[in-house]
Structure 1
């Protein structure tokens, strides 16, 4: 997967733009994955593709150069769904969730998409960001860095900390949807990407979420002994709000918190 990512972004711009995002669309090659007019352009190019369910794939956006790209991404996405299933089961065990029907929401026909990122170097790196501060509007995000250039930072106690890239390791981020379903026991991670002055950075993020029709709310087992902290919303409505707003920390999630 790493090799195919690097080879794709080496292609001439004209060839990459053959897979350009359509107006109002999300999938394809471009510079935005949210559609807010208030969103500032980040210092990055990206390729966004839906990978699961199969019917959601828009194959015209899947590169044929390198020739191995489609097959590699297909196999990679399958293995990541298996990994995500293992992680969700472990998290459910930690939370005390035993209802298999509830677990099925995240394990059966969950949504999966990938965003392949290219962050070119910039001599004025301190004046730009590769990706604006935000938390992921998903369940779980699995990130793989394609080279050894650092840039990912996470926010804790109002300070930014760099995440060191480790060869062969995944970085797993909790998304907003898991924070809601866990009633805040698992917190989504606010993060950003900073730019290197001399070196490019490449990565692939895979996003996993429940189906659009699922009503998001804390698991019943978690609110028997504590107050419900988030108002209910469907995954589809949450995604629509997320994708049409600007990236701005955890603003959308904060708006769903119930006042005490």
Structure 2
């Protein structure tokens, strides 16, 4: 499927791996969510930190988030065991019936090498998955993690929304449910031809919030800060929170949906797990601030437009379509 992309060297983008590797490494703002359970001063300051990070950076890291180390360690082990299975099992196995249809390698829509992500993943719509009766150690772990991630994502979303002055305190309770969200387990294989290749091509996320569990030992996440790419310094104790397109639109550009990417590694593989907080397809996204930067649109309309643009142009156009 990718043979013509890999063998046509003229399609390599005008960049090399050195450009990806020499960018500055920075440590993200660390927020201790445990402070939300302390004094009124601590709660107020913690919430202010969350809103400021979303506004100035578009991503931040959290500790004291309430998700147990046991479940995070367990999903890492289950994920590694899953990706170690032979290719034919990952796409056909009856034991993986609730996952096999969600297995992806690379970028199926790629029309040139610059659009190809060097990644394999299981992108899991949790509505179907949580309704499945196929109980295994893996499915049980995914189910437990996704529910805990949902609670954390909702907590952060409510804090961010309240800081905007929105007067719909039940918006996320009514529009987002565990069954609307997605979990994605990623493996970035060693890349023998790293020049011009990304583990995950530059993009923004099309949801409200993403919660990312990074690899403990292998870095690679980069994002745009002040107009240049920077590398996220590894921290084995934290989770990373990334603002998505829907929150940028709802906040009327107060919060930033940050462009990010993952670089390739020539020798080592890397694993990560991402949780995506999404609303129902019918949910209308609009700002309570006037004049609004964006017109009203539904989540379904947004996803459809993104898919059409990727199919037509090979890349996501995103929020600019809805100004």
Over aligned residues, Cα RMSD in angstroms? 2.6
Q: Does 1:241 align with 2:305?
A: yes
Report what 2:80 is aligned to.
Answer: 6
- Larger Rg over CA atoms: 2
Q: 1:174·1:189 contact (CA, 8 Å) conserved in 2?
A: yes
Residues 99-151 of structure 1, C-alpha deviations (whole Å, 9 max, x = no match): 22434345556721011111011233233111111100111111112442011
For these two proteins, the number of residue pairs brought into alignment is 239
Residues 21-78 of structure 1, C-alpha deviations (whole Å, 9 max, x = no match): xxxxx95112257x64647331111111111x4x565859x8x8xx411000000000
Q: 2:146·2:178 contact (CA, 8 Å) conserved in 1?
A: no
Q: Trace 1:73-84 onto structure 2 (pairs within 5 A).
A: 73-84=142-153
Report what 1:113 is aligned to.
Answer: 182
Report what 2:285 is aligned to.
Answer: 216
Report what 2:318 is aligned to.
Answer: 252
Q: Trace 1:158-169 onto structure 2 (pairs within 5 A).
A: 158-169=227-238
Which one of 223, 234, 243 corresponds to residue 174 of structure 1? 243
**CA distance in structure 1 between the partners assigned to 2:297 and 2:183 by the alignment:** 24
Report what 2:7 is aligned to.
Answer: none
**CA distance in structure 1 between the partners assigned to 2:172 and 2:144 by the alignment:** 24
Give me the TM-score of the superposition, normalised by structure 1.
Answer: 0.82
For 1:100, what is the secondary structure of its paired residue?
A: coil
Report what 1:229 is aligned to.
Answer: 293
User: Kindly tell me: are residues 184 and 133 of structure 1, through their superposed partners in 2, closer, same or farther at Cα, counting changes over 3 Å?
Assistant: same
**CA distance in structure 2 between the partners assigned to 1:11 and 1:56 by the alignment:** 20
User: Kindly tell me: are residues 127 and 204 of structure 1, through their superposed partners in 2, closer, same or farther at Cα, counting changes over 3 Å?
Assistant: same
Tell me whether 179-188 or 10-19 shows the greater mean CA deviation: 10-19
For 1:142, what is the secondary structure of its paired residue?
A: strand
For 2:143, what is the secondary structure of its paired residue?
A: helix
For 2:309, what is the secondary structure of its paired residue?
A: coil
**CA distance in structure 2 between the partners assigned to 1:248 and 1:114 by the alignment:** 22
Q: Does 1:138 align with 2:207?
A: yes
Q: Does 1:87 align with 2:156?
A: yes
Q: 2:175·2:283 contact (CA, 8 Å) conserved in 1?
A: no
Q: 2:224·2:230 contact (CA, 8 Å) conserved in 1?
A: yes
Which one of 119, 123, 127 corresponds to residue 44 of structure 1? 119
Report what 2:194 is aligned to.
Answer: 125
Q: 1:129·1:194 contact (CA, 8 Å) conserved in 2?
A: yes
**CA distance in structure 1 between the partners assigned to 2:308 and 2:93 by the alignment:** 22
Q: 2:106·2:118 contact (CA, 8 Å) conserved in 1?
A: no
Q: Does 1:190 align with 2:231?
A: no
**CA distance in structure 2 between the partners assigned to 1:94 and 1:147 by the alignment:** 32
**CA distance in structure 2 between the partners assigned to 1:130 and 1:16 by the alignment:** 20
In structure 2, list runs of 5 or more residues that go unmatched.
1-74, 95-99
**CA distance in structure 1 between the partners assigned to 2:175 and 2:149 by the alignment:** 14
- Residue 216 of structure 1: how far off its partner (Å): 1.2
Q: 1:122·1:197 contact (CA, 8 Å) conserved in 2?
A: yes
For 1:130, what is the secondary structure of its paired residue?
A: strand
